[in-house]
Structure 1
């Protein structure tokens, strides 16, 4: 659509400002206690002003008394609002979203009040570009009366728009590991394609995951050694739910017992998830999951049923 065509459409839309959207509409029900009670229960509002012989309706129910329900209103509706929406549809603005409403309360509504209302197309905005797409904001103002007396106004705004072109979806990246001063050495080893295991400098107990102190003797002195990479599946689970971005369930997550006697959790690859078995021999390899991240995983060495 050229700029001139866009301007022509806008001029046609502006012509609807001030035209009625509803005239002499009538509420289908009198203001009544059951509807007030249902509203308060739904909202969790226990204000005593909304119950008892002197009850008033919650002010925020203002629009509720004007709604036509599933069957709609058979009288009072103006054709101008439908014409405006059709014009927007024909111009390519076929999607719609409610954006906001504003209400002004002038007098309380009480059970027994008969509700009437009029609505007007108050404004149509210039062409606007939003994250959803490009279109026009349409604002209607409804004047709500009780017994002929103005009780409040309700402004309702929608955006009629043409959805923005969807951007190509990039595959989500795997979550980054949490690296701190206690485990930084392990991840440095992974970058060098080494699986480093901590070893207590006093009692020589190997430990994994990395910890600041030895669980056997309490010593805080330690060194590391490189694991050979062979191990077996000590236990495993198959992940189905919940699905996470960058993961494709179902997949097997194993508790791997390394030949060095420590255990670590990682993915079991190279075999269908339903073929993983306890005791299955596995071998360490490093899997690059994106341009920044490599992870140690374990490839099954035996695909038999066992």
Structure 2
């Protein structure tokens, strides 16, 4: 049955997931401004006359919003229905890859086509067994290929609950190993470009301001404020106990990072709330940076999501 199912899944490779799609809005300065404000990106290339859109916004211009796109193909829904019918009812996004070929500028009309590029054999993961599905979207600006976006999800059958759950482990690679070494030593390290001095977080292999590949680090003092936050209610995940608050914290050094907020109930977290770094042990062999709300903050208008 497993081999037969995989043959049926493989038959969807190469089939269209969306055909002749059109962005609901042309590339425009307000959306670029909102994106840069949310990301804390002040690169002058994204403002003023001759501005371009941040390359990482590539997928934004193709999103259908709540009403979706009429260009969506039935093949993608059929593939999901087949996976659901085989018991792979849960889904999680795993990663994306983007390739940039042309700058996008305000006024560009965006069109796109998407294809189901690959369906993996059955894989066993900590979440459960399932299949990875990769979709490739080719994005065009005024008819010219501007970039390619590959998005990979895992459709899986949730593993049977275990009596004890540990936190998911961070993915440590050569680009961020220094950060996690710092966490192990109870130090929150921020990268600093040795070319232009710009601080950056999260860690990257090169400077996104000047492009220099060399860097050193500075240690964060630990003070910050809640720039934004969400309260997680769903989906429930082993080792987490919803509802809980997840904040986008702006450090005193000027960079922002996502972390859990402690020290107050989840429904008392507020934008502008001062917080201080602490390291908490979340299970037997893992400590993570969190931010504890400072005492005495007077909540103003409620924010967050």
Q: TM-score range by the shorter chain?
A: 0.5 to 0.7
Residue 158 of structure 1 corresponds to 153
Instruction: Report the equivalent of 1:199.
Output: none
Tell me, yes or no, if structure 1 residue 127 matches structure 2 residue 154. no
Q: How far, CA to CA, are the matches of 1:140 and 1:58 in structure 2?
A: 22
- Give me the TM-score of the superposition, normalised by structure 1: 0.53
Partner of 2:39: 43
Cα distance per residue 1:245-293 (max 9 Å; x no partner): 9xxxxxxxxxxxxxxxxxxxxxxxxxxxxxxxxxxxxxxxxxxxxxxxx
Match for residue 57 of structure 1 among 53, 56, 68: 53
Of the three residues 10, 16, 34, the one matched with 2:12 is: 16
Q: Residues 143-175 of structure 1: CA distance to partner in whole angstroms, max 9, x if unpaired? A: 0000000000000000000011111239xxxxx
The Cα offsets for residues 78-134 of structure 1, whole Å up to 9 and x where unpaired, read as: 000000000000000000000000000000000000000000000000000000000
Determine the C-alpha separation between the residues in 2 that align with 1:88 and 1:68: 24
Q: Report the alpha carbon displacement of residue 14 of structure 1 after superposing the two structures with TM.
A: 0.2
Gaps of 5+ in 1: 171-244, 246-306
1:7 to 3, 8, 19: 3
> Structure 2: any 5+ residue segments left out of the alignment?
166-238, 240-305
Find 1:103's aligned residue among 86, 98, 102: 98
Shift of 1:135: 0.3
- Hey, what's the Cα distance between the residues in 2 that align with 1:31 and 1:169? 48
The structure that has the greater radius of gyration is 1
The alignment status of 1:26 with 2:25, answered yes or no, reads no
The separation in 1 between residues aligned to 2:5 and 2:75, in whole angstroms, is 16
Q: Which residue of 2 aligns with 1:78?
A: 73
Q: Deviations over 1:191-237 (max 9, x none)?
A: xxxxxxxxxxxxxxxxxxxxxxxxxxxxxxxxxxxxxxxxxxxxxxx
Does residue 1:149 correspond to 2:106, yes or no? Answer: no
> How many aligned positions are there?
166
Per the normalisation by structure 2, the TM-score is 0.54
Equivalent residue, structure 2, for 1:179: none
CA distance in 2, matches of 1:71, 1:95: 23
